[in-house]
Each structure stands twice: as C-alpha cells, then as structure tokens.
C-alpha cells in the first residue's frame, strides 16, 4: 500500500471518529435537555376580583400630651383653712379649690380634673409650696415627627385619624400646626406636627403612644384585586393572566388606580368575579439538570398544560409577575407608613 493511500485512510478514520463523538455529545445533550423538561415545572395560583374600598395613607407615630395643666402654690405662708375639692374631682373654670387663713383663695383657671391635692385642712404651708394640681384630660394634644421625605405631603388642615395604640381607640381630627424648623441633626431631617383631640374616654391619658394616619387617596365600591396577581411588561403596563375560551392563559391589560400595597383598584379590564392567575412556584432541579438550567439562564423549559403557550388545568395559584414577561413591579406603598385600607 502506498504512502498516499495510508494517509487517506488515516484521515478518513479521524473523520469517522469525530462524527461518532459529535453524535454521542448531541445524544447526551438531548438526554439532559429532555430530563430538564420533565423536572422543571411551574405552578400557578388563582385570584378573584372583588368589590370593595381602598385607601392609602401616610402613617406616623406620636404621643398624647396635656394642653392645660396648672399647679397652684401658696403666695405666702399660712394655714389651710378650707379644702373644697378632693383628688379626682372635676372642676369648672373659677371653681374654688382651697382657702388659707390669710384670706388667699385658690381657684381653677380652666375646666379640668384635680390630679393632685397635697394638703389637708389645718396644714401649715410655706410661701411657694405646691398645694393642688389641676389638669384637663378631655382635651389633649398629639405631637408627631414627619421626616423630610413626607413633609411636602403633610399640611395644616389635613384630616387625620389618631389611634391610641394601647386601647385601639380612634379619634378623627385635623393637623393644627407644623414646625418647619428641623428638630434633628442626623442624616434625616424631622419636623414636628401637632393636632388636638377631644377625648371621651377616661382611660385615654397623656403620654400614651398613638398612630396618626393621614389619608392620601381613597376609592369606594370599586373592583379590587390583590397586587400579587398583577404583572407588568417592560413598559410598566399592568396586565393579568386570564383563561380564554380555549382554556389557555393569555395576557389581559388592565388600568389600575388606588393601591394600599395589599390591594389595588382595577379601573378597567376586569369585572367583579373574574379569575386571574399568577406564577406561584417553580419546581427546583438538581444534578445535571440544574447545571443545564444555569447554562440556559434558568429559563422555563416545561410548564403545566393550561398556562401561557398551552397550559390547561388548575394548580396552586398565588403570587408574582412572570419572569421574562414583565419588568419589576412598582412600589405600591408610595412611601406610605403602616396602616389604612383593606
């Protein structure tokens, strides 16, 4: 056999071996892909549009304080001749509280309650000694701090709801004043706002912690939906997944309104009672399938029938915008503090 023939045979053998190796690699790749398809599944949860009310609000923490309080002292030394009240008594403006033997009579400057009575009839008192304290517990002041990010949304005259934390009792009032000179020297500036409230419960006392909620937006008798059921496309347009007549899921764009971070108003695109679907869970993969998934960017290779692209049937339905079909969901809270809404 000539040298040229031997050379051609060696080349042909190498080509055949190369083709065999490529065929084996292709088969292994197809096997891995097929295995991944069988293991990588997505389940969906269902939500129903309902009718209700939504409001969102700014929420701040504060505390109750006295507006009118006075402690009366003796203007000169003497003896307590007559005591007209006892601790806990309610008094009106001008009522006599006590009288000294030198003719000095202590009267209330405002309506309130005798909070402390420090003397009894016959006691000797010195000039300047504190005798009795009166406080108005029915008309209290609320002070709360507003940070620099929210101060532009808080105004004198804004209606607000004051909830006493310990008693879960609420009162409606309005903001009376705002101190626009910052009271803090840290990284965030804070401003003090005040409001007043008339209290009809003797258990509501100065010093108690309160939550002040200022409603920003509100809607009633509206079609509402859990925000977790809403997705957004790359242009930030809201949509939901709904089943068509063929039982397949398809995108339906909606117009949204007020949101409280939990529910959102659907102005157009859904009716009360409509069911929508959102991705709930993706089954984890392991071993070679997990490696293959990472190589392909975690794409969905298999979905249960009835979803987008031919998915049918139910499943577990709960949350989320669909990867690859939407951008990030906006922050519905809009800087809100806790509280308000459904």
What count of Cα atoms within 13 Å lies in the side-chain half-sphere of residue 28? Answer: 8
pLDDT in tens, 52-101: 998 888 999 999 999 999 999 999 999 999 999 999 999 999 999 999 99
Tell me: pLDDT of 299 over 80. no
- Contact assessment for residue 86 and residue 131, using Cβ atoms and an 8 Å cutoff: no
Q: pLDDT digits over 215-260, tens only?
A: 888 889 999 999 999 999 999 999 999 999 898 999 999 999 998 8
**Residue pointed to by tokens 């509100």:** 218
Using an 8 Å Cβ cutoff, are 309 and 42 in contact? no
pLDDT band at 189 (very low <50, low <70, confident <90, very high): very high
Q: What counts of helices (H) and strands (E) characterise the chain? A: 2, 21
For residues 58 and 337, give the distance between their C-alpha atoms in angstroms, rounded to a whole number: 5
- The per-residue pLDDT for range 97-124, each reduced to its tens digit, is 999 999 999 999 999 999 999 999 999 9
Instruction: Return the CATH architecture of domain 139-218.
Output: Beta Barrel (2.40)
Domain ranges of the chain: 139-218
Query: Quick one: pLDDT at residue 307?
Result: 42
CB-CB neighbours of 255 under 10 Å? 12
């Amino acid at each position: 056999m000539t040298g040229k023939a031997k050379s051609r045979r060696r080349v042909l053998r190498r080509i055949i071996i190369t083709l065999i190796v490529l065929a084996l690699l292709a088969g292994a790749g197809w096997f891995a892909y097929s295995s991944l398809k069988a293991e990588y599944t997505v389940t969906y949860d269902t939500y129903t549009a309902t009718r209700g009310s939504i409001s969102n609000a700014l929420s701040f923490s504060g505390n109750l304080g006295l507006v009118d309080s006075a402690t009366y002292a003796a203007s000169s030394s003497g003896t307590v001749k007559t005591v007209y009240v006892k601790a806990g008594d309610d008094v009106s403006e001008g009522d006599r509280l006590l009288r000294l033997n030198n003719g000095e009579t202590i009267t209330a400057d405002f309506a309130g309650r005798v909070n402390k009575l420090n003397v009894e009839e016959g006691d000797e008192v010195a000039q300047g000694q504190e005798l009795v304290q009166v406080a108005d517990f029915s008309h209290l002041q609320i002070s709360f701090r507003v940070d620099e990010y929210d101060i532009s949304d808080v105004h004198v005259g804004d209606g607000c709801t004051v909830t006493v934390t310990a008693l879960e009792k609420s009162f409606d009032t309005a903001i009376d004043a705002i101190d626009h000179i910052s009271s803090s020297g840290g990284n965030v500036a804070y401003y003090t706002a005040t409001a007043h409230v008339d209290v009809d419960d003797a258990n509501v006392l100065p010093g108690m912690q309160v939550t002040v909620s200022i409603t920003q937006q509100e809607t009633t008798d509206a079609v509402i939906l859990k925000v977790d059921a809403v997705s957004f496309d790359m242009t930030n347009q809201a949509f939901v997944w709904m089943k068509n007549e063929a039982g397949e899921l398809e995108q339906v764009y909606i117009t949204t309104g007020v949101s409280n971070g939990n529910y959102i108003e659907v102005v157009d695109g859904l009716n009360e009672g409509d069911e929508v679907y959102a991705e709930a869970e993706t089954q984890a993969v392991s071993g070679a399938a997990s490696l293959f998934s990472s190589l392909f960017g975690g794409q969905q290779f298999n979905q249960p029938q009835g979803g987008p692209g031919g998915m049918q049937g139910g499943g577990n339905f709960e949350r989320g915008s669909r990867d690859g079909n939407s951008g990030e969901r906006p922050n519905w809270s809009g800087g809100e503090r806790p509280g308000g809404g459904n």
